[in-house]
Amino acid sequence: MGEILEQVFISVGLLVCLVCLVKCVRFSRYLLLNYCKVLPRPFLRSMGQWAVITGAGDGIGKAYSFELARRGLNVVLISRTLEKLQAVAREIEWTTGSRVKVIQADFTRDDIYECIKEKLKGLEIGILVNNVGMLPNLLPSYFLSAPDDIQSLIHCNVTSVVKMTQLVLKHMESRRKGLILNISSGVALFPWPLYSMYSASKAFMCVFSKALQAEYRAKGIIIQVLTPYAVSTAMTKYLNTNIITKTAEEFVRESLNYVTIGDETCGCLAHEVLAGFLSLIPAWAFYSNAFQRLLLTRYTSYLKQNAKGR
């Protein structure tokens, strides 16, 4: 019996060491890619002439639009507010010289995709950034207390990813190259109490993305899901930035270093470290009443103090 227990403990110890080694290698790759920038600059441009970005009027979507234009791609900006899109388009054209197309579309509806398909016709789309999304409430709240716009959230956070991917993936497959970046959230990595709908909708994006990557990797297409934590945007009420909370521009520039690192990434090194720390919290503690009280009190207070609410 003693020999059996000894073998069990040795096996468990080796498994723990292996897991730690894998995490160390992963963090080492992040450090290398972040500081050495080994991704060739023409790589993104080699995917195709055009990049399509949803939710491009603000925040992360706007930052991707500018950064991809700076790296030599023409960009298609899709969002709800035409005035914002036109202003962003003028600035991109003036600062980068890239061509810009704008498409006005409200992703909380599901009858917009035929129009988008028609306006994308004839473009060599090399990159799709599925960024558009909605967060019902920045402050944690119980499901029945959250704003009653469930269908809009599903259309915006779930339907948009499926439909936009469907529009461009067929052409990427025929060209045997392309890059799809799906912007999920750190709250998708495991179910978050008090953010139940948002967490679940973003978890769909994770599962969908990784399944698609398995299907289309052999066809030369990169499909990557990004799971960032705090990024200071309109959706997060422009939270004060710090070592964890990034500006949209910081997050986007760093995330593009990691497009070849694998099918899932937090998008920046600080968020990878945070995700690693959160993964150590036992499930019983994470889903306890005490943790929910912590979210409703301390975390809510932090958000209220740091959100600028422009």
Tell me: domain 40-306, CATH 3.40.50.720, correct?
A: yes
pLDDT tens for each residue of 116-127: 999 999 999 999
Q: What is the pLDDT of residue 180?
A: 98
Catalytic, 198? Answer yes
Where are the domains positioned within the chain? Answer: 40-306
pLDDT tens for each residue of 191-226: 999 999 999 999 999 999 999 999 999 999 999 999
CA distance 243 to 224: 24
Catalytic residue among 198, 216, 229, 258: 198
pLDDT-derived band at 146, boundaries 50, 70, 90: confident
Q: What is the pLDDT of residue 34?
A: 56
pLDDT-derived band at 107, boundaries 50, 70, 90: very high
**Which parts of the chain are beta strand (E)?**
50-54, 74-79, 100-104, 125-130, 178-183, 221-226, 231-232, 246-247, 264-265
Alpha-helix residue ranges (DSSP H) falling in 53-195: 59-70, 82-96, 113-120, 150-154, 160-175
Question: Average pLDDT of 60-83?
Answer: 97
CA distance 190 to 46: 35
Higher-pLDDT residue of 1, 234: 234
How high does pLDDT run on average in the chain?
A: 90
- Residues constituting the chain: 310
pLDDT tens for each residue of 3-44: 554 454 455 445 544 544 545 545 555 555 555 555 666 899
Q: What is the pLDDT of residue 18?
A: 53
User: At residue 127, what are phi and psi to the nearest 5 degrees?
Assistant: -135, 135
β-strand pairing of 50-54 with 125-130:
parallel
Q: What is the pLDDT of residue 41?
A: 66
pTM for the model: 0.88
Q: Which of 250, 196, 204 is nearest to 225 (CA)?
A: 204
Higher-pLDDT residue of 133, 8: 133
CA distance 92 to 128: 18
Report the 10 Å Cβ neighbour count for 72. Answer: 16
Q: What is the pLDDT of residue 38?
A: 53
Higher-pLDDT residue of 245, 13: 245
Q: What is the pLDDT of residue 149?
A: 86
Angle (deg, nearest 10), helices 160-175 and 196-216: 10
